[in-house]
């Protein structure tokens, strides 16, 4: 991409020094004292009206990086309309800003974060934020649309359906954000995103936010971002948060569920997010954990939206100890002080690994990411090592000897080096008697 790039070396600034007005600064959460690196880079650019590609690690504050300048623009528009017209006319404003996200869970999280700020703004007319996603009754969303929200947070499919049925118009959109932009480029979303863009004015401000930068996003940014565009990198592209401790263990393919139970019983973490690629496997593993006496649940796209929302709420409220999830949870979902993420299998896509483990060590906290790897996953591990430029050595898990053979003639060399033999984690004196000795045959899912 050829447009200007802004480095990440910055002097500490306050939100006011970034250009946010007094009303918005006062509306910020009391826990938010200073802007993060991506906020320092992105907020002034968006306030200046520039198109933007912002690259920042997971958990670095991207929602407020694009959300705060958008809220300020809407707030100022309301104030201007108030001076010219009645409050009733102000309420009738069409949507001015749109945030597109790939999942319902992320849409809800973005909405809640921005609503918390908007509710503290003193305006002559309400500043409405509307969540539009599948799984919610259409009648309920239509009733809320009658309030004429100025800011929409939506998943592409549901928004496109509402546009096709003439329930909503995008012809007043002045600010467009694609959050998790690399995910929105994938075939499941991109056709709908393209159709939505044809319904918006050509003259608008567009911002793309992502933690990873595939070639497709790099190429697309050059086409979409035309208004004095700027590229900012808050961190090294495709990098992993430094506060995450990564540990990878080579185990037999058929021993993964048993090894997971052993780790959970041995270390008794208060909360663990377990990632797995297949939906059926998520349910099977959650059932097995429940039988082992743990408060566990599964979360994936085929579950009813009400169930999904309640399960995520229960996990965030510590009513569920172990959440077994597909990559539905890999994107942008924030859980306060989540200590551990475990990959029961490696994702086929290397950037997904970065997003998965980014659920821990958010907002400056420290975190642990464990991956259980079998010989058949060596190509995925090689891709992850290449993307992140990290060695990611494999160790052997105590009491789980590896008897499976590598699928090629290169032996463990395919794993990228020597396999270390050591006890898991830091607790050398852990009580091994707590380890589940039962057979793993009951676990029939694919890894």
pLDDT, position 413? 43
pLDDT, position 418? 54
pLDDT, position 420? 58
Instruction: Please determine whether the domains at 5-233 and 244-434 fall in the same fold group of CATH.
Output: yes
pLDDT, position 446? 36
**CATH code matching the domain that covers 244-434, chosen among 3.30.930.10, 3.50.50.60, 3.40.1410.10, 3.40.50.300:** 3.40.50.300
User: Domain 5-233 falls in which CATH fold?
Assistant: Rossmann fold (3.40.50)
Helix (H, G, I), strand (E, B) or coil at 334: coil
Please tell me whether the overall predicted TM-score, pTM, comes out greater than 0.85 for this model: no
Domains in the chain: boundaries: 5-233, 244-434
pLDDT tens per residue across span 321-355: 999 999 877 776 778 889 999 999 999 989 889 88
Banded model confidence at residue 296, pLDDT cuts 50, 70, 90 = very high
- For 73, 143, 147, 172, 417, the CA distances from 91, given in Å and listed in that order, are 16, 15, 7, 14, 63
pLDDT tens per residue across span 16-37: 999 999 999 999 998 888 999 9
- The torsion angle over the Cα atoms of residues 176, 236, 388 and 365, rounded to 10 degrees, is -90
- For 262, 420, 423, 432, 433, the CA distances from 429, given in Å and listed in that order, are 15, 19, 10, 9, 11
Which range, of 1-5, 203-207, 274-278, averages the lowest pLDDT?
Answer: 1-5
Q: Name which of 167, 164, 121, 166 is nearest 144 in CA terms.
A: 167
Strands 340-343 and 367-373: parallel
Burial of residue 78 (number of CB atoms within 10 Å: 0-12, 13-18, 19+): buried
Banded model confidence at residue 2, pLDDT cuts 50, 70, 90 = low
pLDDT tens per residue across span 235-263: 777 777 778 999 999 999 999 999 999 99
Percent composition of the chain: helix, strand, coil (DSSP 3-state, to 5): 40, 15, 45
pLDDT, position 91? 47
Beta bridge partners of 178: 100, 208
Mean pLDDT value across residues 74-101: 77
pLDDT tens per residue across span 262-288: 999 999 999 999 999 988 899 999 999
pLDDT, position 217? 82
Answer whether 129's CB lies under 8 Å from 111's CB.
Answer: yes
Residue 88 has pLDDT above 60, yes or no: no
In the block, tokens 């993420």 appear at 341
Answer whether 445's CB lies under 8 Å from 280's CB.
Answer: yes
Q: Which residue has the higher pLDDT, 196 or 134?
A: 196
pLDDT, position 7? 52
pLDDT, position 288? 96
Banded model confidence at residue 86, pLDDT cuts 50, 70, 90 = low
Answer whether 430's CB lies under 8 Å from 267's CB.
Answer: yes
Q: Which helix (H) or strand (E) holds 417?
A: none
Banded model confidence at residue 368, pLDDT cuts 50, 70, 90 = very high
């Amino acid at each position: 991409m050829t447009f200007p790039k802004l480095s990440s070396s910055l002097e500490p600034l306050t939100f006011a020094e970034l250009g946010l007005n007094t009303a918005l600064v006062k509306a910020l959460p009391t826990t938010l004292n200073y802007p993060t690196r991506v906020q320092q880079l992105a907020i002034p650019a968006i306030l200046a009206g520039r198109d933007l590609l912002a690259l920042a690690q997971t958990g670095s504050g991207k929602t407020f990086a694009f959300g705060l300048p958008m809220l300020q623009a809407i707030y100022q528009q309301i104030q201007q309309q108030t001076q010219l017209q009645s409050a009733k006319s102000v309420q009738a404003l069409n949507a001015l800003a749109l945030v597109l996200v790939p999942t319902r869970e992320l849409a809800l999280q973005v909405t809640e974060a921005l609503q918390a700020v908007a509710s503290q703004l003193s305006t002559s007319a309400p500043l409405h934020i509307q969540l539009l996603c599948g799984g919610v009754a259409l009648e309920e969303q239509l009733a809320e649309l009658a309030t004429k929200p100025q800011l929409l947070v939506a998943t592409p499919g549901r928004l496109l359906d509402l546009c096709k049925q003439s329930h909503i118009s995008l012809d007043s959109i002045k600010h467009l954000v694609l959050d998790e932009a690399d995910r929105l480029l994938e075939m499941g979303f991109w056709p709908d995103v393209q159709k939505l863009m044809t319904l918006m004015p050509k003259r608008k401000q567009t911002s793309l936010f992502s933690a990873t930068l595939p070639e497709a996003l790099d190429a697309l940014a050059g086409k979409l971002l035309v208004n004095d565009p700027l590229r900012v990198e808050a961190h090294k592209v495709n990098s992993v948060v430094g506060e995450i401790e990564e540990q990878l263990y080579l185990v037999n393919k058929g021993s993964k569920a048993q090894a997971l139970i052993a780790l959970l019983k041995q270390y008794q973490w208060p909360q663990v997010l377990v990632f797995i690629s297949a939906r059926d496997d998520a349910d099977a593993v959650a059932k097995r954990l429940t039988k082992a006496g743990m408060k566990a649940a599964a979360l994936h796209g085929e579950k009813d939206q009400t169930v999904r929302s309640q399960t995520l709420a229960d996990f965030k409220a510590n009513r569920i100890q172990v959440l077994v999830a597909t990559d539905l949870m890999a994107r942008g979902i924030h859980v306060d002080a989540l200590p551990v993420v475990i990959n029961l299998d490696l994702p086929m896509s290397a950037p997904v690994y970065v997003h998965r483990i980014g659920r821990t060590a958010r907002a400056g906290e420290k975190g642990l990411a464990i991956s259980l790897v079998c010989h058949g996953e060596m190509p995925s591990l090689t891709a992850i090592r290449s993307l992140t430029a990290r060695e990611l050595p494999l160790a052997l898990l105590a009491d789980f000897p590896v008897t499976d053979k590598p699928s090629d003639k290169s032996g463990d060399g395919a794993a990228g080096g020597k396999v270390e033999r050591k006890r898991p984690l830091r607790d050398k004196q852990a009580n091994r008697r707590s380890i589940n000795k039962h057979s793993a045959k009951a676990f029939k899912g694919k890894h």
